[in-house]
């Protein structure tokens, strides 16, 4: 089982960025936590983070026929990107949408998620442990 973990814009700033919302763990801490958790359950992980929409689309496309599941936090592109929605649909790889915060409980403009329509599940508002829940959801499908 191979899982690609994709994080969108500003998630490289975890630990520094609005810690009252996103916590004090860094992006490196997050990747290490997910990798360890997945490895303990027999899954291999790969990580990608970009602040650029097209690069995120390229990464989703690169998953086609190569990975068994995607954990995707598109960050702000959640609320704007039809391109990411189309990419997830195109590759046909089971994808779980993750948000550290609960976007539905924040500003109105965060209530729309384009990518959600292509995802098998959404985990939101559970902090960075939401990524681990997403791994579990993907493992349950295999
Ligand atoms: C986020 C929520 C988004 O609304 C926001 O733009 C982010 C992070 C989250 O993980 O809670 O950058 O996806």
Pick the closest to residue 57 from 91, 28, 31 (CA basis).
91
pLDDT at 95: 98
Question: Are residues 101 and 36 in contact, defined by beta-carbon separation less than 8 angstroms?
Answer: no
Domains annotated on the chain, with CATH:
2-140 (3.40.50.9100)
- For 51-101, what is each residue's pLDDT tens digit? 999 999 999 999 999 999 999 999 999 999 999 999 999 999 999 999 999
**Phi, psi values for residue 117, rounded to 5°:** -60, -20
- For 26-49, what is each residue's pLDDT tens digit? 999 999 999 999 999 999 999 999
pLDDT at 107: 97
pLDDT at 19: 96
**Cα–ligand 1 centroid distance for 65 (angstroms):** 28
Clarify whether 27 is annotated catalytic.
Answer: no
Local structure of 136: helix, strand or coil:
helix
Local structure of 27: helix, strand or coil:
helix
Task: Spell out the SS3 assignment of 49-100.
Answer: ECCCHHHHHHHHHHCCCCCCEEEEECHHHHHCCHHHHHHHHHHCCCEEEEEC
pLDDT-based confidence at 9, cuts 50/70/90?
very high
Question: Are residues 95 and 69 in contact, defined by beta-carbon separation less than 8 angstroms?
Answer: yes
Clarify whether 99 is annotated catalytic.
Answer: yes
| Binding pocket residue ranges, ligand 1, CB within 6 Å | 10, 73, 75-76, 78, 99-101, 103, 110
Q: Which atom of ligand 1 is nearest to the CA of 21?
A: 11
pTM for the model: 0.97
pLDDT at 49: 98
- For 101-138, what is each residue's pLDDT tens digit? 999 999 999 999 999 999 999 999 999 999 999 999 99
């Amino acid at each position: 089982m191979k899982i690609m973990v994709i994080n969108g814009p500003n998630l490289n700033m975890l630990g520094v960025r609005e810690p009252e919302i996103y916590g004090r763990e860094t992006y490196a801490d997050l990747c290490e936590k997910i990798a360890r958790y997945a490895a303990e359950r027999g899954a291999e992980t790969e990580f990608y983070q970009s602040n650029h929409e097209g690069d995120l689309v390229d990464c989703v496309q690169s998953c086609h026929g190569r990975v068994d599941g995607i954990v995707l936090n598109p960050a702000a592109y959640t609320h704007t990107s039809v391109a990411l929605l189309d990419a997830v649909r195109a590759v046909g790889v089971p994808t779980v949408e993750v948000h550290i915060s609960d976007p539905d409980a924040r500003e109105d403009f965060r209530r729309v998620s384009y990518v959600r329509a292509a995802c098998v599940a959404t985990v939101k508002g559970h902090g960075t442990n939401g990524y681990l829940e997403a791994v579990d959801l993907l493992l349950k499908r295999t």
